[in-house]
Structure 1
Amino acid sequence: MKDIARRAGVSESAVSFALNDRPGVSPATRDRVRRVAEQLGWQPSAAARALSGEGSATVGLVLARPARTLGVESFFLRLVSSVQEVLAERRLGLLFQVVEDVAAECEVYRRWWAEHRVDGLLVVDPRHDDPRPELLDSLGLPAVIIGGLETGPTDTAVDYAAISQLRTDDAGAMASIVDHLHQLGHRRIVHIAGLPELAHTQRRTRSLRTAAAARGLTEVSSVSTDYSDTEGAAATRAVLAWGRPPTAIVYDNDVMAVAGLAVAAERGLAVPGDLAIVAWDDSVLCRSTHPGLTALVRDTSAFGRQAAGALLALLDGGAAVHVLDERPQLAPRGSTLAEPR
């Protein structure tokens, strides 16, 4: 501040007013001070801002999943990159950490709050009876729950003063998949799902049963995995060994669907003649296989930008909101288009 004041020919208090957008200096003085500060390479200190109550200029994201599963799933890479794109426009940083479980995640939140490390949070993978929203509410940390909360079979949302919720229409998306497979003549459908404790896994599993019952289908089931290609392949081998194996399998992500396609090939099964395959999330993987994989298409980048925008709105003093994102659209490709044998 002394260096800037000396070069700009003003007092140190005028420098403080100018750099912190406070009244007390003229527009011409403010511009002169900022030009000098830029010439000197000055940047605001995040630590000093936090200690003075002005915020850390940082948003937090903690992921409680096995680290080994992250490198193979494209969804989170696209989500995080689009979030960062929005934050960069406001010169906000993204503090990211991977932990083993939700208890460890909660400890990270407490530590970040005590250290003034973040101004707000993006929270992923909501769970049934999730402890995180109440904790964040008690700490007064604004947050956006990506995926939406639920309290039970009624799927009723819970309101928190500074926590917005952004979710997708899992029930509608699953119904569109079951509709597609049913119209093709499939009557035995297996859903190879992700982690069973996640709210969206439970919604998809519940939606599968509901959609199947509405169409008179009795041979449908779900099998949980950790989202990895290894467990996806193992689950595929297991269900194909059943006495009445499925004629169609719905996978909760693209990686498991590609692994399932490989298992079908190793067993000599024709896709889609012997086995139809659907991936929940579309990606370049789904479009690069032969046959191409039928998949749910959604704009993950737009979803991430929407989540970041919702958090910025909270940080700017806006009210918490509940937002239902557009329903993913099913893109039929070669993995389902033929009639089952």
Structure 2
Amino acid sequence: MARRPTIKDIARRAGVSESAVSFALNDRPGVSEGTRARVRRVAEELGWQPNSAARALSGERCGAVGLVLARPAHTLGVESFFLQLVSGIQEVLSAGRTALLFQVVDDLDAECALYRRWWAERRVDGVLVVDPRTEDPRPELLARLGLPAVTVGGTGAPGPVSSVWADDAGAMARVLDHLHALGHRRITHIAGLPTLAHTARRIASLRTEAAARGLGRREVRSVVTDYSDAEGAAATRRVLAEPEPPTALVYDNDVMAVAGSAVAAELGIAVPGRLSIVAWDDSALCRVTHPRLTALVRDTAGFGRLAAEELLTVLAGGPPRAREGEQPRLEPRESTAPPPAAY
């Protein structure tokens, strides 16, 4: 393997001392502008890059931020949300030549242990925390460690670390508005993991909005899953087999909605003739499925950009704060219609 160039190699080729190279590359006084330009030119010619570990040990930033996912691995490969989120994060980080260190772990305990190790090893300058929990130890832990962090998908309430959040309650209200106006009174929400804060907010909002319209818990309810297409399909099959099945289903992601649509087709239940379907996150899947699925549209990549920008602000010394992302809008398509009179 080729040997990595060092400061000594740069000094030799530029005809200056190693200390002069250090001054030039770190924008410190002590060398002329001509020498600084020559040193940087030589460093570029040699392909030299600073050693992030050495910089971290010296108290400088290491040039990387961390992102950890504590979810079942099988639920990640088919869901477009995280790909879009990471693309937005990476767009901001790459512009500032900041690396993204990504890792998947088994559970929340493993995630917290990883944060402690990253902090002790000075592996990252800060972290983006996803999937906030209803009872979440991570913000307090990160504040205690002094590891800069931004929670992605928080509640909007003040906390020990910064957060970016979306109005899940308002989005659920818009979905129920749409279905109620069409005449639906039996609505089932095929929800995600119940320990996630945004799932809990959606479930609570569904109950509140249903009660405001005079609908009880037997007519409008939530069924929890793990976000996967398999569990989404299984939950769909169960609720459609009930004596009084729902006339509308609201899915917490696009993958489950498409899986549910396939189950309805298999059972001979026409969409939207007998069953209306709404997907929480819009994607290409929702737009190519027949019929095309009514969905909540939001700029997920933009949400990722907002989170990365906020983390860079925190790293620059900004105080903890909560920033709201763009509100999702409902895009009615062919999968929703009034329920049949017999239902």
Give 1:11 shift: 2.2
1:35–1:15 Cα change, 3 Å: same
1:202 aligns with 200
CA offsets per residue over residues 71-94 of structure 1, 9 Å max, x none?
010000111122112111111111
1:152 aligns with none
Q: Which moved more, 1:13-22 or 1:67-76?
A: 13-22
1:92 aligns with 98
Q: Does 1:3 align with 2:9?
A: yes
- Superposed CA RMSD in Å reads 1.2
Aligned with residue 67 of structure 2, among 52, 61, 64: 61
State the alpha-carbon separation in 1 of the partners of residues 43 and 25 from structure 2: 9
2:171 aligns with 173
Give 1:338 shift: 4.5
Give the TM-score normalised by the residue count of structure 2: 0.95
CA offsets per residue over residues 169-227 of structure 1, 9 Å max, x none?
00110000000000000000100000000000000000001111111122100000000
State the alpha-carbon separation in 2 of the partners of residues 225 and 252 from structure 1: 9
2:267 aligns with 267
* Aligned-partner SS, 1:303: helix
Runs in 1 of length 4+ with deviation above 6 angstroms? none
2:327 aligns with 327
Q: Does 1:232 align with 2:205?
A: no
| Percent identity of equivalent pairs | 72
**Unaligned residue ranges in structure 2 (runs of 5+):** 1-6
2:3 aligns with none
Letter in 1 for 2:65: V
State the alpha-carbon separation in 1 of the partners of residues 211 and 64 from structure 2: 47
State the alpha-carbon separation in 2 of the partners of residues 113 and 340 from structure 1: 58
2:126 aligns with 120
Give the TM-score normalised by the residue count of structure 1: 0.95
1:145 aligns with 151
CA offsets per residue over residues 251-296 of structure 1, 9 Å max, x none?
0000000000011111111111100000000000000011000000
1:268–1:80 Cα change, 3 Å: same
State the alpha-carbon separation in 2 of the partners of residues 317 and 18 from structure 1: 26
Equivalent residue pairs, number: 333
2:4 aligns with none
1:295 aligns with 295
Give 1:132 shift: 0.4
CA offsets per residue over residues 148-176 of structure 1, 9 Å max, x none?
14xxxxxx72422xx21101000110000
State the alpha-carbon separation in 2 of the partners of residues 30 and 244 from structure 1: 77
1:183 aligns with 181
* Aligned-partner SS, 1:201: helix
Whether the 8 Å contact between 1:175 and 1:208 is mirrored in structure 2 is yes
1:193 aligns with 191
**Unaligned residue ranges in structure 1 (runs of 5+):** 150-155
State the alpha-carbon separation in 1 of the partners of residues 69 and 328 from structure 2: 24
Aligned with residue 22 of structure 1, among 3, 20, 28: 28
1:136 aligns with 142
Letter in 2 for 1:196: P
Q: Which moved more, 1:51-60 or 1:250-259?
A: 51-60
State the alpha-carbon separation in 2 of the partners of residues 338 and 211 from structure 1: 19
